[in-house]
Amino acid sequence: MKTINKKLVASLCGLLLAGQTTIAMAAPTPADAKAFIDKAEKQLAKLSENRFRALWVRDTFITKDSQEIAASAVEAFMAATVNLANEANAFSDVQLDDQTRRKLNLLKLSLSLPAPSDPAKINELSKLTSKLPGMYGKAKYCRPSGECLYEGDMSEIIGNSRNADELLEVWKGWRQVSPPMRKDYARMMELANEGAREFGYADLGAYWRSKYDMSASEFSQDLERVFGQVKPLYEALQCHVRAKLGETYGTDIVNQKEAIPAHLTGNMWAQDWANVYDLVAPKQIKASYDLTSIIKEKGMTEKDMVKSAEDFFVSLGMGKLPESFWTRSQFTKPQDRDVVCHASAEDIDGVEDLRIKMCIQRNAEDFKVIHHELGHLYYFRAYQNHSHLFKDSANGGFHEAIGDAIALSITPKYLKEIGLINKIPGAEEDIPALLRMALDKVAFLPWGLLVDKWRWQVASGEVKPENYNAAWWKLREQYQGIKAPEHRGEEHFDAGAKFHVPGSVSYTRYFVADIMQFQFHKALCDIAGNKDALHRCSIYGNQKAGTKLNDMLKMGMSQPWPQALKAMNGQTQMDATAMLEYFAPLQKWLDKENEGRTCGWQNRN
């Protein structure tokens, strides 16, 4: 063994400290960047699979142990991503090909919550990201009688009861889930903000908005532009619904100049109003079929409903799902344990381990939700041959929009083709069908925008923890024309009563999806040679449309999303024109119904 010359080492160290000499470091090269990305993708792919498996167990078997295991897997993935994202900065000034540069940027943006580089803070953030969804999943409200209700039970009551007192009780009862989360949520946002700033972003909100292939400020402006396109349609719908709810509950409860009380909309969060259709529907026109009743009358099981959705994609020329899908998915709520019932689709290994997690109800709503979730699975499968960082949709909204676009093809024509109805209703039933759809799609639009707007304001510091609730309800009144049914002070944390907030799941993508699904639907209908009105079109069985769709899905995240959209319909920006075309007959009907009514609302905040 050679002896180290300690005097020489000391002499060199002295020269370095004195600034009298330097040791040249080779500048990183394009080849170095490619080698780095290749190694990073392989590492993250393995850690990602471990994380998804742990999260699956946590969500389908909620225990302290499963939460701890999930937290450890999340922490490992988060720590590796943070370290790799920081290392990627070494290639910022290297001239690279577009694909390598895109992967480096995506690496920095790949986390839901970017963690600070401090290992202790990574550990703390990972525990919070596991703890908060677990608190949500186990939450229940126990009535004075001792009867305990879970989220699904309470949502059922909100959707079906017409007793204002019971609705208020249950609405308030569910919101007991979130105040205990408030302190942890504030800390989680603080840590994620710190991580976003280390990555070079102004705050967490700017980090999230930068995932859309444009600057954070440009994306915010684009969202407002698109919402402006659909605002007249939304305000007409809100005016009609408020008038009809006033007829049901009395104008002392539903003031005709103010926002609608949230507990009366048929949905726990007033994010859609489909469950009050019976109260707001045109009385002179009766629907000729009820899909929920048909599902039950035909004895369709939960798996039968999933099989119907699979058959839709098969009809477009796509293959059947793997056998493991049927044995590993959660279709119904187990009776022996707590689970997260919020519907989701999972790509466990990035190849063929595809699953959905639901507590399926045998009704029309979940029939559509299943088609939506399988849209995710077929997207996963289409881009499975890409490397890790390109295994995602063109943007977050694309992933949501694909399944929703397919669900728009669940028309009477489709239902007749698969044998669920015997006759396609005439044009006279279009308004009821469009109104029912609008109570879902149009009513959702401002909600889809404001959830993240609130989080962006929290991230920027515009909203402090001591003002969480006031800011939440200010946005809800401003954008939705929805108000709290009673005073909600800062002892409450009503934003946390929606899973996506404690779960740190992006919400803007749902707004993007709500708009773009109609762009996709129109493009696919045009490809299929549709001659019917847009709201009557179904692409079921059209393999030409299926091929066009799958070709776009195969792109994954390898190109900026405007290029993926262009591949589908020639457009390069989000646009609500197709949505307005879809609902044009309803807009005309609503305008007539609202004659003589006072539309709009006065904000209390």
- Give percent helix, percent strand, percent coil of the chain, each to the nearest 5: 60, 5, 35
Contact 478, 470 (CB under 8 A): no
Residue 497 token pair: 């009563």
User: What is the Cα Rg of the chain in Å?
Assistant: 26
Instruction: Compute, in degrees rounded to 10, the torsion defined by CA atoms 478, 481, 482, 483.
Output: 60
How many residues are there in the chain?
605
Residue 386 known to be catalytic: no
Residue 500 known to be catalytic: yes
Alpha-helical segments (H) within 493-542: 508-527
Q: CA-CA distance, 438 to 441, in Å (whole number)? A: 5
DSSP letter (8 states) at residue 258: B
Q: CA-CA distance, 320 to 430, in Å (whole number)? A: 33
Write down the catalytic residue from 346, 400, 477, 593: 400
The DSSP secondary structure of 545-602, one letter per residue, reads HHHHHHHHHTTTTSS-HHHHHHHHHS--S---HHHHHHTHHHHHHHHHHTTTS--S-B
Q: CA-CA distance, 283 to 346, in Å (whole number)? A: 42
Phi, then psi, of 242 in degrees rounded to 5: -60, -40
The owner of tokens 């020269």 is 15
Quote the strand ranges of 495-602, DSSP E.
none
In sequence order, what are the beta bridge partners of 261? Answer: 483
Write down the catalytic residue from 240, 263, 371, 372: 372
Distances in Å between the Cα of 332 and the Cα atoms of 79, 303, 329 are 34, 9, 9
Residue 156 known to be catalytic: no
Residue 376 known to be catalytic: yes
The end-to-end CA distance of the chain, in Å, is 78
Which region, left, alpha or beta, applies to residue 524 given φ > 0 means left and ψ of -120 to 50 means alpha?
alpha
Contact 379, 195 (CB under 8 A): no
Amino acid sitting at position 247: E
Residue 218 known to be catalytic: no
Give the distance, in angstroms, between the CA of residue 540 and the centroid of all CA atoms in the same chain.
25
Write down the catalytic residue from 500, 528, 564, 593: 500
Contact 272, 241 (CB under 8 A): no
Of 232, 158, 221, 242, whose CA–CA distance to 442 is shortest?
Answer: 232
3-state SS, residue 229: helix
Write down the catalytic residue from 75, 373, 477, 593: 373
3-state SS, residue 247: helix
Write down the catalytic residue from 240, 342, 521, 535: 342
- Name 283's Cβ contacts closer than 8 Å, sequence gap at least 6: none
Write down the catalytic residue from 343, 533, 567, 584: 343
- Name 37's Cβ contacts closer than 8 Å, sequence gap at least 6: 100, 103, 104, 107, 389
Write down the catalytic residue from 212, 234, 510, 540: 510
Alpha-helical segments (H) within 259-408: 277-280, 291-297, 302-315, 323-328, 364-382, 396-407
Residue 87 known to be catalytic: no
3-state SS, residue 251: coil
Please give the positions annotated as active site: 342-343, 372-373, 376, 400, 500, 510
